[in-house]
Structure formats: structure tokens, C-alpha cells
Amino acid sequence: MPELPEVETVCRGLRQRALGRWITGVEILHSGVVLGATEDFTRWICGRKVSRVKRKGKVLAVELESPNGQSTHFLMMRLGMTGQITVRRRSERLEAHTHVRLLLDDGEEEIRFRDARRFGRLRVSTREELDAILAALGPDAQEMRGTEFLQAARGRRGAVKSWLLNQRVVSGLGNIYADESLYAARIHPLAQPGRLSRRTLQRLYLTVKKVLKRAIELQGTSFRDYVDIEGHAGRYRRWLNVYGRTGKPCRRCQGLIRRIIVSGRSSHYCPRCQKRPRYITLEIHPEDSGPPSRTGMRV
């Protein structure tokens, strides 16, 4: 599922390929991915210029400027699980699951939205609506300050893994980069943020940024669906240390990577490098590590 590095890659791609260009036509092949009335969607996009492309967390917003230079509306794009945004020549073969085509300029090229599982969404919003949506998100994981991160951890008793995934705390992290960050910072996924030392939290904060930065440099992680604006896969996959490596040797200590379920999500970690803390959280259903523990129980 696309996370911050993948969405940032698409965002940069759109800036390169679509910024300053006019959207001259809208074709909706499957209206299920468009939120709101399709007539409104088309009306607010068609005949507008892409004047800015911005991102917060996993939300991508394209600012649309009318011919008189006013920008009152935004095209918001969420990639969901398998969403792809590419710029293609209109004559290029249309791949299955292409749901929306936005013609650019003279119509030789177009932005395509493709999504096999259809969890992604496109919608047009006003500036106020966009601001409200973005305000509900915590600071962007790439932009947040250390003080915000430390502050947010105060008193938190849930598992640090779930805490990192909570978009109201910090936006942009998903399962892959949360697992990779915890591994790099040597923190067990069930540790409680509120009980981690200031120094450990500081380390996690820096690690999150470092992991995201590297992943952005390599255009994100591709397993099956995610591609950049040109349709190329991301190259971070080979750098993954724990995600998707259950049973494989840890690259640091050669111990075996394990997988547990934290709040319904898979968590990959190295039991040797990421020591189980004295206090762990209720929201665990260990698949492979004995009976479930209770909140704050000493283990």
C-alpha cells in the first residue's frame, strides 16, 4: 500500500509532468472511484490549469486554476491500496482497471488513474474542505519537528507500532516504513511510546526521517502495483530489513525475523535487535509468541 515515499514520488512526478498544463478533458470510465457527483467533478477540473501539486501524509492535492487566474478548487487523489497515477500518451494502450483519464493540453498526453482494487479515490474539494481534511491529520512524517514527536508520545500506552500508524499522530507512515523505522531504531513494536526514554524517542524520530528520505530517493517500494508517474517500479524493496522477511536472517545479528499481529496489522521485527520491553500493550494477538498479554503487564 502506498505510503509517504510512494505518494511523494507521484507528487514529484506530477510536478515534473503536469505542472502548468491545462486539463482539457475528463473521461470517467468507472465512477466508483470518484467521490461526489461526476458532473461536478468534471466541471471543476475541465478547463483548469495544474498550478500546484502538494502533499500531506498520503494525501495528494492538485491545485486547479481557472483561466482568470483564480484557484478555488483542488483535485484530491488517494492511491488507496493499488492506485496508480501515470502520465501517458493518449494513444498508448489502455491498461485494465484504468478508471479516469485527464487529457492534457492538446490531448496528446493524459493523466491516468488506474486502481485494480478500487480503494483509491479522486474528489474535487474547495480550499476549505481540503484544509479541514489536512488539519485532521497529524504533522507530515517528513516535516514534523522533534518536539512535536516527543510531545505526541507523552502518556501513550498503546503499542508504538499502532501509534506510528495513527495518521492523527503523524501522517504518512504505513506498515512498511513503520516496521523498518522501528527495526532501525531497535524498538520492539509493542513498546509503549509513553514509556520510551527521551533519547530512544529522539532516535526513533531521526530514524523515521532517515528511512523515509532513503525510500524517497529510491522512488518508494514496489511489490506489485505501485509505480511512479512514468510507470516504473520503486527500488526500495531490496533495502527492506524486516518487512516481508519473516523467517529470514536479520542483516544485523543473523537472528530470524518474526511476524506478530499488532492491532490487526502484521508487524515484522527482529527479536534480538528489538528487545521485548518490560511493559507491553493489550492490543496484541501474538501469532507465534505464546498467550496474549494484558495492558501494562510485566512480561
Catalytic residues: 2-3, 58, 265
Contact (CB, 8 A) for 274 and 188? yes
Compute the least distance from the CB of residue 74 to Zn ion, in Å: 44
Compute the least distance from the CB of residue 272 to Zn ion, in Å: 4
Q: Does 94 bind Zn ion (CB under 5 A)?
A: no
Compute the least distance from the CB of residue 161 to Zn ion, in Å: 17
Exactly one of 34, 270, 280, 284 binds Zn ion (CB under 5 A); which one?
A: 270
# binding residues, Zn ion (CB under 5 A): 7
Compute the least distance from the CB of residue 218 to Zn ion, in Å: 22
- CB-count burial class (<10 Å; 0-12, 13-18, 19+) for 215: buried
Element (DSSP H or E) covering residue 50: strand 48-56
Closest CA to 121 of 33, 32, 10, 6: 33
Q: Does 272 bind Zn ion (CB under 5 A)?
A: yes
In the bound state with Zn ion, the residue whose beta carbon lies nearer, of 173 and 257, is 257
CA distance 66 to 50: 9
Exactly one of 23, 178, 201, 273 binds Zn ion (CB under 5 A); which one?
A: 273
Q: Does 250 bind Zn ion (CB under 5 A)?
A: yes
Q: Does 253 bind Zn ion (CB under 5 A)?
A: yes
**Which residue in the shown chain puts its C-beta closest to Zn ion?**
250
| C-alpha distance across the termini of the chain, in Å | 33
In the bound state with Zn ion, the residue whose beta carbon lies nearer, of 253 and 297, is 253
Q: Does 209 bind Zn ion (CB under 5 A)?
A: no
Exactly one of 30, 127, 213, 252 binds Zn ion (CB under 5 A); which one?
A: 252
Contact (CB, 8 A) for 31 and 123? no
Compute the least distance from the CB of residue 292 to Zn ion, in Å: 24
SS3 content of the chain, % helix, strand, coil (to 5): 30, 25, 45
- CB count within 10 Å of CB 10 equals 26
In the bound state with Zn ion, the residue whose beta carbon lies nearer, of 275 and 285, is 275
Cα separation values, 294 from 172, 221, 279, 298, Å: 29, 35, 10, 9
In the bound state with Zn ion, the residue whose beta carbon lies nearer, of 79 and 257, is 257
Q: Does 297 bind Zn ion (CB under 5 A)?
A: no
Compute the least distance from the CB of residue 254 to Zn ion, in Å: 7
Q: Which stretch binds Zn ion (CB under 5 A): 30-38, 100-108, 158-166, 246-254?
A: 246-254
Measured torsion, CA atoms of residues 175, 181, 182, 185, in degrees rounded to the nearest 10: 180
DSSP-derived letter for residue 145 is -
Q: Which stretch binds Zn ion (CB under 5 A): 15-23, 40-48, 51-59, 245-253?
A: 245-253
Cell of residue 99, nine digits = 478508471
Q: Which residue ranges make up the site for Zn ion (CB under 5 A)?
A: 250, 252-253, 255, 270, 272-273
